[in-house]
Structure 1
């Protein structure tokens, strides 16, 4: 509906249609939803309802609530986070089109590969279930069947009683994260910062919802995403072949994280933002349910067919390899080694597209504050320069050479600046507001990002 507002910008006789730009505010819906849920919980509206997480003692009382509330506006103003949030909303539409309007579901989807838990030992599922009411996030589509894992003690605490919220105090922090099945690494993000405190806090300069993460292709249209890893802990590169159970990184607190945990999801596409989440069954898993059993409370029935079983929020789960000795880890064909140079090109182009979208966001925001297009062009040029300088200094400080892919996002922002400068010089789009122009540049970046990763997906088949 927001696109209708552009007609009001282009044609003075339709100026009333500019009111449709208000629909762009729905991009803030995920934040508003989390805010309402937090306020509702803090006011005690859910106290009479028993839930699967009631046995857990993970929150930090009013301090955790305040930390979360302060983080919401910071995330909204963070261009990297806003870019990814809006792309997720558009990406759900792309995923729906890819599946002809019917997204994968537990009773219709049969996975091509056997999966184990991506961790060893006993972990607690604090978010996630194939049951809609207890899903990690039913919308956007990419996180529909995602899981969040932490380690808790018998009292349901994720860190020892009496300790502060330093990340090293959490039981799961720095624990090994494993490949859930054999496959080929298709994407790695390992440049997100990490706060040394948790308790509802996350780094204000985070650059991705997932933080540091690894994407692995296990079969055609079957990828795993392992997120929120410790900076510098990732042990694999795009193009590497990994075996089931191989360590790929360590559990951390990067990205959109209130405390150290592992975010795991299975998806049908190598790009997080445009993927559809896939329901996943785990092999060799034992389950303990200390609190409310959501399977019994909802009369949910495990779908027949396929290996393994689903897990649910509130459960303590453990990987027990001796449960299935001598069986193959793969139902379908194992993925072949992938051309690393091809993955590198896809990654570089996707970062350029990301930079273009960031430029669109900055154009819209700065244009509202400072209507002059030249001011917007200057802001974009400064942002691109700072990004390029940061990457050059970072590469040299780490003792490495400057690589093109590390500069590609800054180049994308620079492209947005050049596009806007050309439009100013030629008078093109002068009748459109900066908000409309910024939305247009953002959309171009999103389309390019989707096209690049769609090419990457088909090249991996």
Structure 2
């Protein structure tokens, strides 16, 4: 691991603590003012300390952006062919077939990530609109759908303790969703991807499945899996507006240091934004 990658990983792990320190200092300062209004400004947290903490947190943010930009220069790698992670009729969103990085960022190995939602012909997916504000996950056909290993692989990470939250697929829910997303980003990649699974496909290639259903992962770390094996089920955890599968290939299992790798699904290719496909 080179110095840039080590530095990026360190900065990524320090971010939650730095922002947490700023929030803690502000809360302490506010509490002192409320509890003892006669003590005067000097009794609270010194302004210089607050400023220093804020500058440190913002500097870490700028350094993280710079390291991420510098670390992804050069030609795009060739795609790796793997089997589709689902079966049936699905719809693609945020696809690398239309732009890279597909999700607007290369952080957490997401450069070539794709989101897919289940679109069976006999059960329409709820439309995005004004009402209802939120929906239960069972209203979406993707929720609980099986997720498959895309190749023979070894499980290197399995996390499924986070709860599945209600959907955010309405216009009024977007503003709180974006605020929530910012908080999740500060908390680190685990809060973004929610329940997730990482498979080691060999040759320095790893597959990430994100937003999985709580308690649905059927494999353990260190276990070998076969292509096509059911390894989990689609959920709605982490930074997700509705039940869907987020899939990506990357060059490391650690999301703090991973760089995205392009993929192509055998028999499907890379479906573009808005494209419906059958696997």
Aligned partners of 2:195 and 2:210 also within 8 Å: yes
In structure 2, the CA distance between the partners of 1:19 and 1:270, relative to structure 1 (3 Å rule), is closer
Question: Is 2:221 the counterpart of 1:245?
Answer: no
| TM-aligned CA distance change 1:242 to 1:133, over 3 Å | closer
Change (3 A) 1:142 1:19: same
Structure 1 length as normaliser, TM-score?
0.41
Q: Deviations over 1:25-73 (max 9, x none)?
A: 783x9xxxxxxxxxxxxxxxxxxxxxxxxxxxxxxxxxxxxxxxxxxxx
> Structure 1 residues 211, 19: closer, same or farther in 2, change over 3 A?
closer
CA–CA separation in structure 2 for the residues paired with 1:184 and 1:24? 38
**Corresponding position of 1:117:** 84
Decide whether the 8 Å contact of 1:222 with 1:266 is kept in 2. yes
* Equivalent pair of 2:89/2:278 in contact (CA under 8 Å): yes
Deviations along 1:157-191, one digit per CA (max 9) or x if unpaired, are: 63279986111001111111111111000111122
Q: Which range moves more in the overlay, 265-274 or 125-134?
A: 125-134
Q: Equivalent residue of 1:208, what SS?
A: helix
**Structure 2: how far apart are the matches of 1:197 and 1:126?**
16
> Is residue 270 from structure 1 mapped to residue 253 from structure 2 by the alignment?
yes
* Cα displacement (A) at 1:152: 3.1
**Which structure has more strand as a fraction of its residues?**
2
CA contact (8 A) 2:100 2:112 kept: no
- 1:130 is displaced (CA, Å) by 3.9
Q: How does 1:224-235 map to 2 (within 5 A)?
A: 224-235=207-218
After superposition, give the CA deviation of every residue in 1:105-128 in whole Å (9 maximum; x if it has no partner).
2xx4253xx411100001100111
Tell me how far 1:223 sits from its aligned partner: 0.4
1:181 to 2:151 alignment: yes
Whose helix proportion is higher, 1 or 2? 1
SS of the aligned residue for 1:281 comes to: strand
For 2:238, the equivalent position in structure 1 comes to 255
CA gap 1:20/1:258 in 2 versus in 1, 3 angstroms:
closer
CA RMSD of aligned residues (A): 3.7
- Please name the residue that 2:55 is paired with: 21
Cα separation, partners in 2 of 1:130 and 1:236, compared to 1, 3 Å: same
Q: Once the 2 structures are TM-superposed, how far is the Cα of residue 198 of structure 1 from its aligned partner?
A: 3.8
Q: Which residue of 2 aligns with 1:217?
A: 200
SS of the residue corresponding to residue 147 of structure 2 reads strand
The whole-number CA distance in structure 1 between the counterparts of 2:87 and 2:241 is: 22
Asked if the contact 1:198/1:260 (under 8 Å) is kept, the reply is no
Seen in structure 2, the aligned counterparts of structure 1 residues 197 and 283 have a Cα distance that, compared at 3 Å, is: closer
CA contact (8 A) 2:116 2:246 kept: yes
1:417-436 alignment to 2 at 5 Å? none
Q: For 1:90 and 1:237, locate their aligned partners in 2 and report how far apart those are by CA, in whole Å.
A: 36
Cα distance between partner residues in 2 of 1:234 and 1:20:
39
Q: Does 1:139 align with 2:99?
A: no
**1:314–1:160: structure 2 CA closer, same or farther, 3 Å change rule?**
closer
Deviation at 1:248, TM superposition (A): 0.7
TM-score by length of 2: 0.65
What is the CA-CA distance between 1:197 and the residue it aligns to?
Answer: 4.2
In 2, are the aligned partners of 1:176 and 1:251 still within 8 Å (CA)? yes
- Report what 1:166 is aligned to: 136
1:223 partner SS: strand
Structure 1 unaligned regions, length at least 5: 4-16, 30-85, 286-308, 320-461
Task: Work out the CA distance in 2 between the residues paired with 1:277 and 1:26.
Answer: 22
Larger RCO: Structure 1 or Structure 2 (Cα < 8 Å, ≥ 6 residues apart)? 2
Q: Is the 8 A contact 2:163 2:214 kept in 1?
A: yes
